[in-house]
Amino acid sequence: MGDKGRRVSIKDVARHSGVGIGTVSRVINNSDRISPETRQKVLNSIKELGYIPNRAAQSMRSHKTKDIAFFIDISNLTFSRIATGTYQYLESQGYTLTLCHIGKNRSTTLEKVKSFLNGRTFDGIILSLPSEENEALNQYLKKVDVPIVTIDRDIPGLVTGVVTDYHGSLQKAVDYLISLGHRGIALVNGLPIIRPSKLITRSFREAMERNGMTVDESLLFHGEYSRDFGAQTMLNLLPRIRHREVTAIVCMHDEIFHGMLRVMKDYHLRCPEDVSVITLEDYELMQLLTPPFTVIRRQLIDMGEKVAQGLINYIQNPELYGQLEPYSLPTEFIIRESCAPPA
Amino acid sequence: MGDKGRRVSIKDVARHSGVGIGTVSRVINNSDRISPETRQKVLNSIKELGYIPNRAAQSMRSHKTKDIAFFIDISNLTFSRIATGTYQYLESQGYTLTLCHIGKNRSTTLEKVKSFLNGRTFDGIILSLPSEENEALNQYLKKVDVPIVTIDRDIPGLVTGVVTDYHGSLQKAVDYLISLGHRGIALVNGLPIIRPSKLITRSFREAMERNGMTVDESLLFHGEYSRDFGAQTMLNLLPRIRHREVTAIVCMHDEIFHGMLRVMKDYHLRCPEDVSVITLEDYELMQLLTPPFTVIRRQLIDMGEKVAQGLINYIQNPELYGQLEPYSLPTEFIIRESCAPPA
DNA sequence: GTGAAAGCGCTAACAC
DNA sequence: GTGTTAGCGCTTTCAC
């Protein structure tokens, strides 16, 4: 902790350069027409005095903060990827990012969002919500009077910033499994209270039907994005895998995947000999597992960047708000060694 | 975006409850002595009008923001763990957390920190810096007049908030390897410009010597916290591993470990048959790798929480600033299956 | 105990 | 073009 001397203010600059504070303000915001000489004079004083505008004061007057709120579950690895992209773009545009960790617990989301937003101002908000069906929250958010953009969520009244396009990859994944000879294919997916889960199920169905298969509804698993759900699902699946009723699994979440893997390990289920597996996210470790896993990859950093881009665009062009299509993030299907013809 | 109606201010509350705005302010900050009746009257008005104090205005006057800046490389998984802990504690104390992603590039750190802090006020700062030896940065930070606390860094003039105690675990790790019969043990470590790397090397040396071994300096590797460094180091080690000159590796960083693993995979080096490996961080996946890895574990969430705790303590008790010992985070040595007697 | 008033540092509206 | 002024919403003397 250093010197506590009063910070130099706009007044000091005005006095030092012999102009009015309004003029200084105009120079800072390079608004209006200002004579080049005056501008230079002021600029010199600013430099000489080491003046830095006080953001709190600026935003109090202008109602702009250059600060974006980001609501997300930061305990997950996916987060750090998305956040990195978001951060980088925001920084490049002179914005800062303030985090709000809403956790996984859906029942506390509203409360967290509310108390976070209380009395604070943001120029915009990015949301990655654990549910689309929190009516109270949705109502509340509609009333917030800054641009809000969601990540992979369809919430009536809110604007979707980015959306993941799993369709093509899922088609490829299912085609691939079927070409390998699989018939009993399980889909392990998130809760259908969010957009991606719904779309994934739909695409999966379509892919199966296109291949002339009927979908066994008991092979469609929906649950929390958690290791527990993954473990439990795998436990359920175990007998059917052993009876060769199920020979392949498509798992659409990384934490769920960890849970499944854990049980596979514990029960000495071999992959791909006993069961073929395709999962989501292409983290480095996916290639380092045994076997290296066949995955659906999405560019998470890109995703974070694109939401931020969309939001800033809306902030700077309010008339566009809600008029643009969400950015559609492509995915890739990457074949490695976790799938084989059923025994 | 909802109604843009003017927010209710302290004035409205004052008028509504028939008191002066000073009184309202006192109630909000529950400062001074206020008669119970007045307090209740004001509280009622606040509730009735749905009044929420404006933070920008509050902090402009009081020079307190209830906001903590967190400088860290958010692209790493370790981050999301630490940040989760920090966030939770801060939230429980009514503080918010604003992120600054400084990245890995040491040469841009000063610039990033500076431009981030420019004109903004924080009640405190938490630092996880990529180097202790950035003199310009250290000088700059000393002048900042709010409490700053570092994570696992010794920077003259700054206060260390939390420190990892690798010593015991490292002793156990080395003892364990030696008891297994290993003699050629390599240590792969970060750059010695940060505290943990130095301490790790020292503890490793001590452990070796205590076991009557002399340390082969060419087996002490220092480098960036990156997969590239890990890969390159493994490549270097390859011939010596094949000649059974090196039979065990202790790797003290997760990303470096990924790089090493990658090369081991590519060169079909088996673990533990060809080389025994111990690594740092006990992420779920560490148990799911083949083999499950023997690790040194640190409680990262705890770590994040403890720094936050220390910082808030200093904020609330400025007279303590720099007087307290950093919190020493314990580590555990967890034996799994990545080590075996050398062939 | 409580009200009135000053002013934090700035932007924007209004003069000239 | 540029100076002056009125607040933004709050905390904090300073009276009473």
Q: Give the chain A residue nearest B321 (alpha carbons).
A: A1
* The pLDDT of residue B293: 98
Secondary structure string (H, E, C) spanning chain B: CCCCCCCCCHHHHHHHHCCCHHHHHHHHCCCCCCCHHHHHHHHHHHHHHCCCCCHHHHHHHHCCCCEEEEEECCCCHHHHHHHHHHHHHHHHCCCEEEEEECCCCHHHHHHHHHHHHCCCCCCEEEECCCCCCCHHHHHHHHHCCCCEEEECCCCCCCEEEEEEECHHHHHHHHHHHHHCCCCCEEEEEECCCCHHHHHHHHHHHHHHHHCCCCCCHHHEEEECCCHHHHHHHHHHHHHHHHCCCCCEEEECCHHHHHHHHHHHHHCCCCCCCCCEEEEECCCHHHHHCCCCCEEEEECHHHHHHHHHHHHHHHHHCHHHCCCCCCEEEEEEEECCCCCCCCC
The Cβ-side half-sphere exposure at B125, using a 13 Å CA radius, reads 24
Taking residues B109-114, report their average pLDDT: 91
- The alpha carbon of residue B267 is apart from the nearest alpha carbon of chain A, in Å, by 13
Which of B1, B55, B88 is nearest residue A120 as measured by Cβ atoms? Answer: B55
Residue A104: Cβ within 10 Å count:
14
Q: C-alpha dihedral over B75, B77, B78, B80, to 10 degrees?
A: 80
- Separation between Cα atoms, residue A83 and residue A46, nearest integer Å: 34
Residues 149-188 of B with CB under 8 A from A: none
For A:81-140, CB contacts with B below 8 A are 81, 83-84, 87-88, 91, 96-101, 116, 118-121
Task: Note whether B138 and B157 are within 8 A (CB).
Answer: yes
Q: Which long-range contacts (CB under 8 A, 24 or more apart) does A56-61 make?
A: A56/B56, A56/B59, A56/B60, A56/B65, A56/B120, A56/B121, A57/B60, A58/B119, A59/A121, A59/B56, A60/B54, A60/B56, A60/B57, A60/B60
The reply to whether A60 has its C-beta less than 7 Å from any atom of strand D is: yes
Contact A127, A71 (CB under 8 A): yes
- Set of chain A residues whose Cβ sits within 8 Å of the Cβ of B147: 1
Nearest-5° Cα angle at A131, A331 to A235: 75
Rg of chain A over Cα atoms, rounded to whole angstroms, equals: 26
Q: Which residue is nearest to nucleotide D2 (CA to C1')?
A: A23
Q: What is the pLDDT of residue B5?
A: 57
Q: Is the pLDDT of residue B239 over 90?
A: yes
Domain ranges of chain A: 3-53, 64-162+300-330, 167-298
Residue A16 approaches strand D within 7 Å at CB: no
Plot region of B77 (φ>0 → left; ψ -120 to 50 → alpha; else → beta): alpha
pLDDT in tens, chain A (343 residues): 544 457 899 999 999 999 999 999 999 988 877 899 999 999 999 999 999 999 999 989 988 999 999 999 888 889 889 999 999 999 999 899 988 999 888 999 998 998 889 888 899 999 999 999 999 999 999 989 899 999 999 999 899 999 999 999 999 999 999 999 999 999 999 999 999 999 999 999 999 999 999 999 999 999 999 999 999 999 999 999 999 999 999 999 999 999 999 999 999 999 999 999 999 999 988 999 999 999 999 999 999 999 999 999 999 999 999 999 999 999 999 999 999 999 8
**Separation in Å, CA A191 to CA A136, A141, A149, A195, A252:** 19, 22, 21, 9, 11
Beta strand spans in chain A (E) = 67-72, 96-101, 124-127, 148-151, 159-165, 185-190, 220-223, 248-251, 276-280, 294-298, 327-334
The amino acid at B76: N
Out of A1, A53, A96, closest to residue B145 by CB: A1
Chain D: positions less than 7 Å from a protein CB are 1-5, 7-14
Mean pLDDT of B215-233: 97
Query: What is the pLDDT, as a whole number, of residue B327?
Result: 98
Q: What is the pLDDT of residues B272-300, one digit of tens each?
A: 999 999 999 999 889 999 999 999 999 99
Whether nucleic acid strand C comes within 7 Å of the CB of A54, the answer is yes
Query: Within chain B, what is the greatest distance between any pair of CA atoms?
Result: 88
B292 → chain A, closest CA residue: A265
B84 contacts in chain A (CB < 8 Å): 74-75, 101
Phi/psi at B170 (nearest 5 deg)? Answer: -65, -40
Q: Chain A within 8 Å of B77 (Cβ-Cβ)?
A: yes
Q: Where does residue A244 fall: left (phi above 0), alpha (psi -120 to 50 degrees), or beta otherwise?
A: left
- CB count, 10 Å around CB of B302? 16
- The answer to whether residue A242 neighbours chain B at the CB level (below 8 Å) is no
Q: State the CB neighbour count (10 A cutoff) for residue A228.
A: 12
Measured in residues, chain A has a length of 343
CA-nearest residue of chain B to A123? B1
Burial of B18 (0-12, 13-18, 19+ CB in 10 A): exposed
CB of A25 within 8 Å of any CB in chain B? no
Q: Kindly determine whether the C-beta of residue A120 is less than 7 Å away from any atom of nucleic acid strand C.
A: no
Kindly list the distances between the CA atom of residue A335 and the CA atoms of A183, A184, A331, in Å, as whole numbers in the listed order. 19, 19, 13
B162 token code pair: 């939390």
Instruction: Please report residues of A whose CB lies closer than 8 A to that of B54.
Output: 60, 119, 121
Q: For domain B64-162+300-330, give the CATH number.
A: 3.40.50.2300
pLDDT interval class at B205 (50, 70, 90): very high
Pairing of strands A294-298, A327-334: antiparallel
- Rounded to a whole number of angstroms, the distance from the CA of A311 to the nearest CA of chain B is 13
Which amino acid, one-letter code, is at B5?
G
Nucleotides of C under 7 A from a protein CB: 1-13
Contact B265 A287 (CB under 8 A): yes
Neighbours of B274 (CB within 10 A): 18
Give how far B118 is from chain A: nearest CA, Å: 7
Identify the helix (H) or strand (E) that includes residue A259. Answer: helix A254-266
Rounded to whole angstroms, the distance from the CA of residue A25 to the C1' of nucleotide C5 is 27
Residue nearest to nucleotide C9 (CA to C1'): A57
Domain B3-53 sits in which CATH superfamily? lambda repressor-like DNA-binding domains (1.10.260.40)
Q: Smallest Cβ distance to A145: which of B2, B52, B98?
A: B2
Taking each helix axis as running N to C, give the angle between helix B55-62 and helix A55-62, from 0 to 180 degrees, rounded to the nearest 10. Answer: 140
B40, two tokens: 């209740």
Give the model's confidence band at B330: pLDDT under 50 very low, under 70 low, under 90 confident, else very high. Answer: very high
Contacts across the A-B interface (CB distance below 8 Å): 146
Residue B199's pLDDT band (boundaries 50, 70, 90)? very high
Instruction: Quote the pLDDT of residue A14.
Output: 93
Residue A235, SS3 per DSSP: helix
* Closest nt to residue B61, judged CA to C1': C8
- CA distance, residue B92 to nearest chain A CA (Å): 11
Which of A304, A300, A298 lies closest to A92 in space, CA to CA?
A: A304
Q: B171 φ, ψ to 5°?
A: -60, -50
- Chain centroid offset of residue B212 CA: 35
DSSP string, A28-41: HTT-S---HHHHHH
CA A232/CA B227 separation, integer angstroms: 34
Chain A touched by B317 (CB under 8 Å): no
Q: Write the pLDDT tens digit of every residue in B55-83.
A: 989 989 988 899 999 999 888 889 889 99
CATH number of A167-298: 3.40.50.2300
Inter-chain contact B4–A258, Cβ cutoff 8 Å?
A: no
Distances in whole angstroms, Cα of residue B316 to Cα of each of A93, A295, A333, B96, B120: 34, 49, 53, 15, 20
**Using CA atoms, how far apart are residues A170 and A280, in angstroms rounded to an integer?**
10
Tell me if A343 sits within 8 A of A244, measured CB to CB. Answer: yes
**Backbone Cα Rg of chain B:** 26
A68 contacts A122 by C-beta, under 8 angstroms? yes
Q: Which of A1, A7, A70 to mutate to test the interface with B (most CBs of B within 10 A)?
A: A1
Q: Report the chain B residue with the minimal C-alpha distance to residue A76.
A: B80
Over chain B, what is the mean pLDDT? 94
Q: Mean pLDDT over residues B46-50, rounded?
A: 92
Q: Answer whether A95's CB lies under 8 Å from A66's CB.
A: yes
In this structure, is the CB of residue A30 within 7 Å of any atom belonging to strand C? no
CB proximity B53 to A under 8 Å: yes
- Amino acid A15 reads R
Give yes or no on whether A64-162+300-330 and A167-298 have one common fold.
Answer: yes
Q: What is the DSSP letter of A324?
A: S
Please give the pLDDT value at position B192: 96
B3: confidence class by pLDDT, cuts 50, 70, 90: very low
Asked whether B282 and B266 are in contact (CB, 8 A), the reply is: no
Contact A81 B75 (CB under 8 A): yes
CA of A313 to C1' of C13 (A): 29
Instruction: Give the tens place of pLDDT for each residue, B155-179.
Output: 998 999 999 999 999 999 999 999 9
Q: Cα–Cα–Cα angle for B324, B328, B331, nearest 5°?
A: 175
CB A333 within 8 A of CB A280: no
Query: Searching chain B, which residue's CA lies closest to the CA of residue A115?
Result: B94
